[in-house]
Amino acid sequence: MVGQLLLHITLFLWSMSNALLAVASEASLAKPNCLSQCGNITQIPYPFGIGAGCYLDDWFQIICNNSASPPKAFLNRTGLEVLEISLGGTLTVTSAITFSNCDNKKSDRQAPNLLGSPFVFSKSNRFTSIGCDVIALMTDQGSPLGGCYSICDNITHSTSTIFQNNSCSGLRCCQTTILDGLSFFNTSFAAVLINGSDSEMECKYAFMVDHDWFMSTNISTIVDMDSVPVVLEYQLNQYSEQHIYGTYNFSHQNMNCNIFRQCSCKKGYQGNPYLLDGCQDINECDNQYRCGPGTCINLPGHFVCYQPDRQILRINVGILVAGGVIGLLFLLIGAWWSHKVIKKRKDIKRKQKFFKQNGGLLLEKQLSSGEVNVEKIKLFSSKDLDKATDKFSIDRILGQGGQGTVYKGMLSDGRIVAVKKSKIVDGGEVGQFINEIVILSQIIHRNVVKLLGCCLETEVPLLVYEFILNGTLSQYIHHPNEEFCLTWEMRLRIAIEVAGALSYLHSAASFPIYHRDIKSSNILLDEKYRAKVADFGTSRSVSIDQTHLTTLVHGTFGYLDPEYFQSSQFTEKSDVYSFGVVLAELLTGQKPVSLMRSQESRSLATYFLLSMENNLLFDILDSQVMKDGRKEKITAVANLAVRCLNLNGRNRPTMKEVAVELEGIQLSVRAETDVQQVFPEVRCVQTQEINEVWDVVSSSTGPCTDGGTGSSFDVQPLLFFNTQ
């Protein structure tokens, strides 16, 4: 009886001490003696604060404007109005709407600039545009960061049918997600003139907005607003622990933090993790019904229920412990054996599941049909590729794109490879991944990136390619360096190699293959700066009697065939158009889409065609081309580019004709070089040296062909106009 009395007294004292701690934990989330409320914001937690000594630094200082009714809170450094602050690492502020051609609306307002601050735009936001036949772009110094395209028809132009069901799916309203860590962008518009529409002068506007707020708001009322809510993330990884907490002597025991030092209290605790000892235990025993008839005992982070009636049973503690140890020993031995068997079975089932999920059955069907020869494709194990890429370390990333992420790896035999880790796909996209394997398995060409094998037993599918050392052609055209530059001879040779590869894909392969995304960033350069065509994620093979494919539009702005864009019918001539844009890049050194050019020439294809039509070719050429190339050969290549960019696909040459014509131009250059070598006083050193270094040998034995003259345009090109 005495023992039970002592036990009850001990439990009572323990519960009282925890109750006192629980009361203390209900303190404000702000620093001591600091204001924690401004208007509708009822809690302003540290690192934010009002008044000296109440905030982490000036970025987190809150200015409370008490002259407004109700009072409004603003960030001191940015001037942004604060609507809500969360301890989860986010805050909601107001962001300006960018208008164009809207009555009584300023057109020079932009989203806030967060560069240099601890704030970034959260991925819970959406970049949204409202208007007819308009492209809204997020740019940074002229380079696109993202955007979306909204279209209209006779119905969506009618104000009575606009925004039914609060929809924003591309008809008059479009949305897109944003990049991780985005801290700055400018908003601009480009109207697309389709069938003489007058959308250029219509009111249009774009904005970054909290997606949850947007979905609960009537879209038609936004035009009457000047700003909308946007969610920011605050990251404290640039601050030391001493700066945040005022000391190094504190414990992380009751909190969880990520790499950006965004913290939260652990389960069973509450409070502000940015204050010293800010995470305090939650007293679950405040709920009197927590343990029913028993006694609730609050413990740090959890609680236990004590049932006094059950303590009457006396158990020999020694026997209980000994029996428990022996039982545990047998249990561990049995569990070890069971674990080995179960793990092996789970591994087999998991691999079978992923194999099926990643299209393995579809690939087996392709193999069993006998139409695909993949004898040289190796099936790699996930263990081999984990080892090759250091478990897919971020330090091994070579690049990221719409289809996935590419890592550099080294196999056990010492070979350097590129491992493409595709994005997690749903069942409808598995066919696209298997399509890439099937297409690459059929291609054997020195100017096409070689597929070494694949791995289908992982959660996301993996492809293993040969490693191409020198990066993309786009890097050398648009980001040249002083140590190495692309000479005229090299540009011509690269164009010939790419044209030869596409000609092979279109006609020489077992099935005609349309690439559908030819661009300079999909052309890689090996150790000898030979071209390699890459990225077949959107490619399609067709039967011999097919003349086109009807699909959703795939590709990259600036390279898209206007015919394909309007009709969704992709033909081999669509690849020819994209190659024509690459030729224009090689000649001019300019980007395929640039906001730095005039309004009607945002597209390089349009800019190049207009320059050729106005006899201004030599005003737009790259300085290296002007320095190295001969006028008549440059003109021949430019005229060929014009023919490739003809808006009527039937009037474009085939890739075989393009390859033969480029080889003819190269052969005529070499013939002139050989003649000049007979006469020492007329010496073309650069052409000879480049040919010796790169060992460029053409397989064509046909006669040299003239580039021809530029043909007149059948219709006006698809023009992009700046409306801001």
Architecture of the domain made up of 553-724: Orthogonal Bundle (1.10)
Cα 577 from Cα 505, distance rounded (Å): 15
Whether the pLDDT of residue 583 is over 70: the answer is yes
* Tens-place pLDDT, residues 44-68: 999 999 999 999 899 999 999 999 8
pLDDT digits (tens, 9 = 90+) for 508-531: 656 788 888 899 999 999 999 999
Q: 172: left (phi > 0), else alpha (psi -120 to 50), else beta?
A: left
Q: Is 716 helix (H, G, I), strand (E, B) or coil?
A: coil
Whether 680 has a pLDDT exceeding 90, the answer reads no
Q: Are 523 and 533 in contact (CB under 8 A)?
A: yes
Every domain range in the chain assigned CATH 1.10.510.10? 553-724
Contacts of 54 (CB under 8 A, 6+ apart): 30, 31, 34, 35, 46
Other C-beta atoms closer than 10 Å to the C-beta of 695 total 8
CA dihedral angle for residue 205, residue 208, residue 213, residue 217, rounded to 10 degrees:
0
Mean pLDDT score, 693-714: 32
Q: At residue 417, what are phi and psi to the nearest 5 degrees?
A: -135, 165
pLDDT over 70 at 715, yes or no: no
> How far is the C-alpha of 160 from the C-alpha of 156, rounded, in Å?
9
Higher pLDDT, 592 or 162: 592
Report how far apart the first and last C-alpha atoms of the chain are (Å, whole number).
88
Is 50 exceeded by the pLDDT of residue 705?
Answer: no
pLDDT at position 434 over 80? no
Q: Which of 580, 447, 472 is nearest to 523 (CA)?
A: 472
Cα gap 36→553, rounded to integer Å: 53
Q: Which residues are catalytic?
A: 517
Tell me where in the chain the CATH 3.30.200.20 domain(s) lie: 358-467
Average pLDDT, the chain: 80
Percent of residues, the chain, with pLDDT higher than 70? 77
The topology under which CATH files domain 358-467 is: Phosphorylase Kinase; domain 1 (3.30.200)
What's the confidence (pLDDT) of residue 543?
43
Is the per-residue pLDDT at 317 higher than 80?
A: no
Dump pLDDT digits (tens) for 616-646: 999 999 999 999 999 999 999 999 999 999 9
- Predicted TM-score of the model (pTM): 0.48
What pLDDT, on the 0 to 100 scale, is given for residue 323? 82
